[in-house]
């Protein structure tokens, strides 16, 4: 029975991502999502309290997945530059492998729905990375400036590059990834 449950759960997750990406929040109704997931609208309410909770939990799940990806091969005994490069590569991989998740994330986080998210819970997934940057500052490897500014140069350029809505023809190749990281590093290093 639990197997069956998870199949429906997942189907709803994927259907939500797909529909919201394709037609947006305004046009995505519960019944359309249910149809896309091949379940009854009533069934959706077995798994989610209401539409809002469906959308928010979909976002949180994606953030969770991304958080896990980002920390793969994370080894804080390595030099800071190498760790950040690994993180950068991990984000890259996640985005390249799950463009739909990424797109949903971007749309969601720029909408008022994002106010409903427990920010701390989500940020926790990225805590190790944050700690590394702070260490870099302490060790005078990274510029000693406002943390938001640093993260704006580490995380956002890669998000922009990966977002086809912003960079339509950018290729998510290994080479481009490395080139971009060099710019990020030049930006933040002392």
CB of 102 to DNA, least distance (A): 23
Rounded Cα distance between 178 and 113, Å, is 34
Q: Does 103 bind DNA (CB under 7 A)?
A: no
DSSP string, 28-81: --HHHHHHHTTS-HHHHHHH-SSHHHHHHHHHHHHHHHHHHHHTTT--TTS-HH
Q: How far is CA 86 from CA 53, 71, 72, in A?
A: 33, 9, 8
Q: Does 2 bind DNA (CB under 7 A)?
A: yes
φ/ψ of 142, rounded to 5, equals: -110, 145
Closest to a second copy by CB, 3 vs 26, is 26
Q: Does 44 bind a second copy (CB under 8 A)?
A: no
Give the binding range for DNA (CB under 7 A) out of 4-12, 58-66, 147-155, 168-176. 4-12
Q: Does 47 bind a second copy (CB under 8 A)?
A: no
Closest to DNA by CB, 18 vs 51, is 51
Whether 142 contacts 133, CB under 8 Å: yes
Within positions 37 to 76, which residues make up the interface with DNA, using CB under 7 A?
Answer: 39-47, 50-52
Rounded Cα distance between 123 and 125, Å, is 5
Closest to DNA by CB, 37 vs 122, is 37
Instruction: Choose among DNA, a second copy, none what residue 149 binds, the Cβ cut-off being 5 to 8 Å by kind.
Output: a second copy
Closest to DNA by CB, 50 vs 176, is 50
For residues 109, 162, 169 and 21, what is the CA-based torsion angle, rounded to 10 degrees?
-40
Q: Does 3 bind a second copy (CB under 8 A)?
A: no
Closest to a second copy by CB, 74 vs 160, is 160
Q: Does 112 bind DNA (CB under 7 A)?
A: no
Among 113, 126, 130, 172, binds a second copy (CB under 8 A): 113
Rounded Cα distance between 116 and 62, Å, is 15
Q: Which residues are near DNA by CB under 7 A?
A: 1-5, 8, 26-32, 39-47, 50-52
């Amino acid at each position: 029975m639990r197997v069956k449950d998870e199949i429906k759960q997942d189907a709803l997750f994927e259907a939500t991502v797909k529909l919201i990406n394709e037609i947006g929040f305004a046009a995505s109704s519960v019944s359309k999502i249910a149809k896309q997931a091949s379940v009854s609208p009533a069934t959706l309410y077995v798994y989610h309290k209401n539409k809002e909770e469906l959308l928010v939990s979909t976002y949180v799940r994606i953030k969770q997945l991304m958080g896990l990806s980002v920390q793969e091969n994370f080894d804080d005994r390595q030099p800071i530059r190498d760790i950040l490069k690994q993180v950068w590569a991990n984000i890259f991989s996640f985005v390249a492998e799950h463009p739909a998740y990424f797109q949903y994330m971007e749309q969601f986080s720029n909408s008022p729905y994002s106010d409903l998210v427990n920010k701390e819970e989500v940020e926790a997934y990225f805590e190790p990375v944050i700690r590394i940057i702070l260490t870099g500052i302490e060790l005078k490897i990274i510029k000693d400036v406002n943390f938001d500014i640093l993260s704006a140069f580490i995380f956002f350029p890669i998000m922009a590059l990966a977002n086809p809505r912003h960079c339509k023809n950018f290729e998510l190749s290994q080479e481009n990834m490395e080139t971009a990281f060099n710019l990020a590093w030049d930006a933040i290093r002392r």
